[in-house]
Amino acid sequence: MAPKTSLSRRAMLGRTALGFGSLGLYSLLSEASLLAESPAGPLAARKPHFAARAKRIIFLFMHGGVSHVDTFDPKPRLDQDNGKPLPIKRSLTFNAKDAGGLMRSPWTFHPRGESGIPVSDLFPEIAGCADDLCVIRSMVGEGVDHGAAMLQLFTGTFSFSRPSMGAWTLYGLGTENQNLPGFITIKPTQWQGGDKLFATSFLPGAYQGTPIGSSPMKVDDIIESPIDHVLPSGSTTEEQRLELEFLRQMNRRHADVRRLDPDLEARIQAFELAFRMQAEAPEAFDVSRETEATRRLYGLDQESTRDFGWQCLLARRLSERGVRVVQATHSGAEEKWDHHSDIVRLHPIRAREVDRPIAGLIKDLKSRGLLDDTLVVWGGEFGRTPFSEGADGRDHNPYGFSIFMAGGGVKAGSIYGATDEFGYHAVEDRMHIHDLHATVLHLMGLDHERLTYRHGGRDFRLTDVAGTVATKILA
Amino acid sequence: MIRIQLIVYFLLGCVALQAAAGDEFFETEIRPLLHDRCSQCHGEELQTAGIDFRDPATVLGSAVVSGDESSPLIRAVRYESTLKMPPDSKLSEGEINALVLWVRMGAPWPGYEPVAAETAEVREDPVESDHWAFQPLSVPEVPGPFQPGWVRNDIDRFILARLRASDLDPAPRASKLALLRRAKFDLLGLPPTETEIQEFLADTDELAFARVVEQFLGSPHYGERWGRHWLDVARYADSTGVDEDHPFGDSWRYRDYVVDAFNEDLPYDQFVREQIAGDLLPAADGSSINRRGIIATGFLALGPMALAQRDPIQKKYDVVDEQVDTTSKAFLGLTIACARCHDHKFDPILTSDYYALAGIFASTRTFDNWSKNGSRYYKYPLVEADVYATYSKQAEALGRLESLWRIARRVAVQRYIRDGPGQLIAAAMLASAGLGPADGLEAATVEWFREYLAPRASARAHLEPWHAGEGNKAAVAAAYQAEFLGALGETIERTDSWFERALEAIEAETEIPNLPSQQPDSLFYRDLRADGAVFDLAADTHQGNFASRDRKRVTGLKGRIESAKATLPAKPSMANAVTEDDTVRQRIFRRGQHKNPGTEVPKRFPLVLAGTDQPEVETGSGRRELAAWLGSEENPLTARVLVNRVWVWHFGEGLVRTPNNYGMRGEPPTHPLLLDWLAQQFIDSGWSIKSLHRLIMNSATYQMSSAISENAYRVDSENRLWSRFERRRLTIEELRDSYLLISGRLDPAVGGDTDLGSGTLAEFDRNNRRINPDDSARRSIYLPLMRNKLPNLLGLFDFGDATTANGKRSVTNVAPQALYLMNSGFALSTAGSMAAGLDGPAAERVRQAYLLALGRPPSSEESKLAMQYVGVRSDAGPAWASLCKMLLASNEFHYVE
């Protein structure tokens, strides 16, 4: 059954009224005010389909595509056959004309932690969290260009306009803190999908993600006013209380002579809620309240890690306060990880920007007891080719790549799936993006086949007509 | 070698082992063989005969029958059939044997699981359906008679008959004030002015309201309000969306076409035909090109398109799909696109119906060149062909000169570095380490090298010689300098020799050869030339340092550019539109996958609607025929769908409450007789939308109040029987435009080029900024709509996504909207301007504020409360602005009765 979303209070009231026709008008009215007093409306927290492993998601998105064969998926065959041509047929490639021979990884892999998960030297700090990770080495997508790959990762398809996975999650579960938006995306990109990556498409607008700045803005550009209009402007809090009281009385008089209209009631409640949001939001975004030690843990004390460190720390603060879905995008004026050339020089710069912040986030969530029911997902829109592009780059590779998850009911210290001996195609336990979505929803307590929305005569799902839950990774 | 392996495989008996071995055999023997010998004609570039050896679905079951040695492929490679493959030279015996063995093994192909044959082959037998929407329009009898009193026209008779049957009374007539506000927002999207209110209240004639409706229908702002409704259906936006979101540039012409069409009351059937095939219809003024018709096809051209998609066929057919989807939803209220992968799950729409329409759009040009990576959308010149040819020839010549000029400047800078500062690299390196004098060196340069050469945690192998070199640092530095100059010299040489050829090409008016751009291998060179590095030098600041031959070259080119510009004719107007393309014989794509083509289908319309006896599309794309069929009264859906849309836009809900879905899963009409009667009236009026407005707005049904009785609430809380007028919240356009009007800032200009706001709307510029609506005082219909970065304001108030046909906007009431109305700069400045315009003693100011915001004077109680409120606030100026802000934020303002 799809969750009832009480979107149209009027419609719901209608059903109630028809269902209980014998009740007097008085009970109808109390029904109306009862509904109206559930202030959250479409965002009210809802029960999952079954017991959830995770209550909230933090998705750390690496824009541009991290090279999996240089980070989480070591391939001895590339060392052996460095420079030799790829002996199998090349699949559709973004920049086919510059495709070169196989290219070994310039970085060394070591088994890390007790689990022995191999992580390359690019991520020394994340490597320290190896025993908390569930590394998935068999991701598969179809988008060969950034836009298609990102749309598929965030919405399930690049061919149609569809709701984002954050919007679906919010639609399914509502949110736990009505004084903050339920779905927040920190520094999203403005191109290659843009707002579509956190939009609602045909789902109601209430499920849309709230952006905090956008790439390539820096922390300092954002910190003053993270959410639009959330701070009282031109009046003090006391003055605003007076304003709202005046407005409430005016709206009340108006509604009193227009009975039985729950929409008018809903709008009155929206103002009350807005007032409470104003009180809570600035505190939630105020990272300066953290201890020096915590700030260091996320790398806020260093220039190179300050930006993404702030994003990760903010992600924790928001998750802690019950925000259902948080996305943090690592991007800039260009795709941060898209190294078609010069990968040897550029991948380490990008890795350094995120390594400490991500490790800091995992450690911090863990020490606060939040990691158990917070699902952290890390990844890019695709991996990179095992063969070179030009002299010293790697091209896009959606056919097999790595992501990792941590916390939220996944098997810690484990590896799932495998690519072929080159790291080109996922061959074992392939996890298509639909499967990833099915699995993430499952961890959140939602059955991806039951989370549906009727639009244009059809029941739509995040996973379209596909998706299998990867039960092997469940703790 | 191959023989030994064959024997090994023959010896393998175990089934499981065989499967694994089969996969391996395919990967080691078969895939490379197919790739090397066959993929030139059956691979990425070409898929001759639909066979693509990258895709097992095109091979297995057809060319290769599992286990069958007489499979077409085997006979072809043995040269046994008339088809001999590969045609140039026969495969070796070993290769043929490998293929035979593979077929005998059951043709294993790792990762491939054959899909069951789809049912969706061509069916041309009749499709019958008794679903109401597919039946011809009925000619219903008008119910009645009724006692005189409530009924004003025939619409009311249909409504009253149903109300009576449910023992419901219609609500009383709305107050004159409410009616005026309702009609003005409805037709013009703005609140009535004080003068309009006074005049209307003073006019006690029975026809006063009819006259006001007429007056509003004659306003040029009517088209802005109703055109915007249609733009929702046409998923209108100013950029491509999906991935790269490039601005269309000329999309506004289509927007203006729609506004004009409504203002002129263009007959709807013609409006339909023009949007599908306006470029193929004769111009009304007899000119050789139909400019207006061309622009109208923006309907097809302005959908979302994935410009970066690397699979060109996928790219093309995603656009075709979008065109099928929007066209069928907009005009037919059908979700035909559901049949892309399989027969429609609920409606009698076949996959062959889908591809029959897809073939029409596949033969229509929407991309400049769809098969090319990164192709733009097509642009249609709005001038005669020869005028455009002259222009584009000159413009291209100018473009060539300009790119040459840029390269000339680049090489000039490079030469300057080589002969000037590049000679001082070694000295600067030494000076930065304190090993040499800094005389004659710029301090900033030395400083840059000091930072660059300082040891860092991350390994930089190419700097190891410098860091390791204990002994002769001077020699090491010299080697680095030499490496840099060597790399630079090669680059310069390559550019210089290309330059000569490029100049010759310009003289000969041929294509300029590609500049071989090869990044030098030297990482040291790249570091020094990287963005922001020591040798990242701008041409502008170093012109004075150019060598004389460079200076001559650059100024020479500049002169030629100037004279080319002087003789260049004005850029012809262009339209984002479609035109005819090569005619495609469309095949069904099984499961929607173009790599899995099935049977060919002729271009035609859905059988359930148009029957089996359809004229053949003999030439062209078939759009002309499609336009004629859609814009015809033979089609039972066109008029029904439109009159229902108009009803939705007047009343908030339709007679069919799923205005984009008339299929089995859509809602059946609440008043089927009224729907057909209205459709018939509409056709009889010459498809006049303004006549439809008159009919509807002069009915008693439209003029009821929004008050709901207890009985009506109990029996019909959703108002499906229309016992009252449904209260509705203002749309975002109405909200913003009213704020602008009330604050005296609204710019009433109609139409024109996309308002740039503060963003750049340069085509193909990834760095387009989000448009800030506050930067414009134009009506909201003119705000540029970048699909992937719509102004936040629009999303906040349920605008929709401008990406799929939207027949009815949703309405949500959420806290961020309240925050906007309390704290946004727009709300504050509007309230400020409004307060500044108030004049006189406090009671008078309150009266003015209420009139401006709500179109009525305050009650004495309200007046008292407002004055109290202003008095409590210590600061008089802001207090009045605050009062205005709250009036504008009130439910009374935001709802139309």
Is the pLDDT assigned to residue A40 strictly greater than 70? no
User: Is A161 in Cβ contact with B803 (below 8 Å)?
Assistant: yes
According to the model, what pLDDT value does residue B760 have? 42
User: Is A249 in Cβ contact with B816 (below 8 Å)?
Assistant: no
Is the pLDDT assigned to residue A34 strictly greater than 80? no
Residue span of the structural domain in which B857 resides: 729-896
- The mean per-residue pLDDT over the stretch B461-482 comes to 85
CATH topology of domain A56-231+298-473: Alkaline Phosphatase, subunit A (3.40.720)
Has residue B184 been placed in a domain? no
Give the residue extent of every domain in chain A. Answer: 56-231+298-473
Q: And the tokens for B741?
A: 């009007």
Is the pLDDT assigned to residue B9 strictly greater than 50? no
Residue with tokens 């795709």: A335
- The mean per-residue pLDDT over the stretch A221-232 comes to 80
3-state secondary structure of A416: strand
CA torsion through residues A223, A226, A229, A231, sign: negative
- The mean per-residue pLDDT over the stretch A213-223 comes to 84
Range of lowest pLDDT (A438-452, B158-172, B254-268, B773-787): B773-787
B183 vs B772, higher pLDDT: B183
User: Is B796 in Cβ contact with A194 (below 8 Å)?
Assistant: no
Q: What is the mean pLDDT of chain A?
A: 87
Is the pLDDT assigned to residue B158 strictly greater than 90? yes
Query: Which of B458, B664, B792 is closest, CB to CB, to A348?
Result: B458
Is the pLDDT assigned to residue A27 strictly greater than 60? no
Has residue B603 been placed in a domain? yes
Same structural domain, B758 and B876: yes
Measured between its terminal Cα atoms, the distance across chain B in Å is 87
Query: Which of B729, B789, B823 is closest, CB to CB, to A231?
Result: B823
- The mean per-residue pLDDT over the stretch B403-424 comes to 92
According to the model, what pLDDT value does residue B590 have? 87
Is the pLDDT assigned to residue B264 strictly greater than 60? yes
Question: Read out DSSP for A175-229?
Answer: -S-TTS-SEEEES--SSTTGGGGT--TTS-GGGPPEEES-TT--HHHHTT-SSTT
Q: Which of B74, B104, B134 is the last residue of a domain?
A: B104
Same structural domain, B774 and B839: yes
For B215-248, the pLDDT digits (tens) are 999 999 999 999 999 999 999 999 998 888 888 9
Q: Which residue of B has its CA nearest to A197?
A: B788
User: Is B865 in Cβ contact with A246 (below 8 Å)?
Assistant: yes
**Predicted confidence band at B402 (pLDDT cuts at 50, 70, 90)?**
very high
- The mean per-residue pLDDT over the stretch B863-892 comes to 89
User: Is B717 in Cβ contact with A13 (below 8 Å)?
Assistant: yes
pLDDT over 90 percentage in chain B: 60
Let me know the angle formed at the C-alpha of B186 by B180 and B189, rounded to the nearest 5 degrees: 100
Query: Which of A146, A202, A206 is closest, CB to CB, to B814?
Result: A206
Report the domain count for chain B: 4
Is the pLDDT assigned to residue A143 strictly greater than 80? yes
Is the pLDDT assigned to residue B117 strictly greater than 70? no
Residue A339: list chain B partners with CB under 8 A: none
Has residue B185 been placed in a domain? no
Q: Which of B37, B345, B713, B833 to mutate to test the interface with A (most CBs of A within 10 A)?
A: B713
User: Which of A328-342, B493-507, B629-643 holds the top average pLDDT?
Assistant: B629-643
According to the model, what pLDDT value does residue B327 have? 98
Residue B822: list chain A partners with CB under 8 A: 229, 232, 240, 243-244, 271, 274
Same structural domain, B450 and B534: yes
pLDDT over 70 percentage in chain A: 91
The DSSP H or E segment spanning A402 is strand A401-407
Q: Which residue of A has its CA nearest to B244?
A: A192
According to the model, what pLDDT value does residue B769 have? 61
Same structural domain, B291 and B422: no
- The mean per-residue pLDDT over the stretch A200-222 comes to 84
Distance from CA of A177 to the nearest CA of B (A): 13
CA torsion through residues A320, A323, A324, A330, sign: negative
Which phi and psi (to 5°) does residue A262 adopt?
Answer: -65, -20
**Predicted confidence band at A26 (pLDDT cuts at 50, 70, 90)?**
very low
Sequence-distant (6+) residues with CB within 8 A of A409 are A52, A53, A54, A373, A375, A443, A474, A475
Residue B663: list chain A partners with CB under 8 A: 457
Q: Which residue of A has its CA nearest to B816?
A: A274
Q: What is the mean pLDDT of chain B?
A: 88
- The mean per-residue pLDDT over the stretch A109-137 comes to 97
Has residue B888 been placed in a domain? yes
Burial B140-152 (b: 16+ CB within 10 A, else e): beebeeeeeebbe
Same structural domain, B517 and B378: no
According to the model, what pLDDT value does residue B757 have? 41
Has residue B716 been placed in a domain? no
According to the model, what pLDDT value does residue A199 have? 86
Q: Which residue of A has its CA nearest to B34?
A: A89
Has residue B679 been placed in a domain? no
Question: Read out DSSP for B442-488?
Answer: -HHHHHHHHHHHS--SS--GGGHHHHH--S-HHHHHHHHHHHHHHHH
User: Is B242 in Cβ contact with A158 (below 8 Å)?
Assistant: yes
Same structural domain, B470 and B511: yes
According to the model, what pLDDT value does residue B63 have? 81
A58 vs B513, higher pLDDT: A58
Between CA B272 and CA B267 the distance in angstroms is: 9
Distance from CA of B215 to the nearest CA of A (A): 30
For B276-300, the pLDDT digits (tens) are 999 999 998 888 899 999 999 999 9
According to the model, what pLDDT value does residue A13 have? 36
User: Is B770 in Cβ contact with A148 (below 8 Å)?
Assistant: no
Q: Which residue of A has its CA nearest to B873?
A: A239
**Predicted confidence band at A33 (pLDDT cuts at 50, 70, 90)?**
very low
3-state secondary structure of A316: helix
Looking at residue B794, its amino acid is L
User: Is A242 in Cβ contact with B869 (below 8 Å)?
Assistant: yes
Is the pLDDT assigned to residue B110 strictly greater than 80? no
According to the model, what pLDDT value does residue B771 have? 73
Q: Give start and end residues of each alpha helix (H) in B191-290.
A: 194-202, 208-217, 221-233, 251-263, 268-277
- The mean per-residue pLDDT over the stretch A411-424 comes to 96
Residue B232: list chain A partners with CB under 8 A: none
- The mean per-residue pLDDT over the stretch B585-599 comes to 88
Between CA A278 and CA A241 the distance in angstroms is: 11
- The mean per-residue pLDDT over the stretch A91-119 comes to 92
CA torsion through residues B703, B707, B711, B716, sign: positive
Same structural domain, B373 and B398: no
Residue with tokens 């050789």: B288
Which phi and psi (to 5°) does residue A417 adopt?
Answer: 75, 170
According to the model, what pLDDT value does residue B729 have? 95
According to the model, what pLDDT value does residue B766 have? 54
**ipTM value for the complex:** 0.75
Q: Which residue of B has its CA nearest to A247?
A: B886
- The mean per-residue pLDDT over the stretch B880-886 comes to 95
Residue B862: list chain A partners with CB under 8 A: 250, 253
According to the model, what pLDDT value does residue A262 have? 79
According to the model, what pLDDT value does residue B235 have? 97
Query: Which of B318, B665, B825 is closest, CB to CB, to A159?
Result: B318
Same structural domain, B259 and B271: yes
Same structural domain, B509 and B592: no
For B833-847, the pLDDT digits (tens) are 999 999 999 999 999
For A319-371, the pLDDT digits (tens) are 999 999 999 999 988 889 999 988 988 999 999 999 999 999 999 999 999 99
Has residue B143 been placed in a domain? no
For A164-173, the pLDDT digits (tens) are 999 999 999 9
According to the model, what pLDDT value does residue B522 have? 85
**Predicted confidence band at B875 (pLDDT cuts at 50, 70, 90)?**
low
Closest by Cα among A188, A390, A183, A222 to A306:
A222
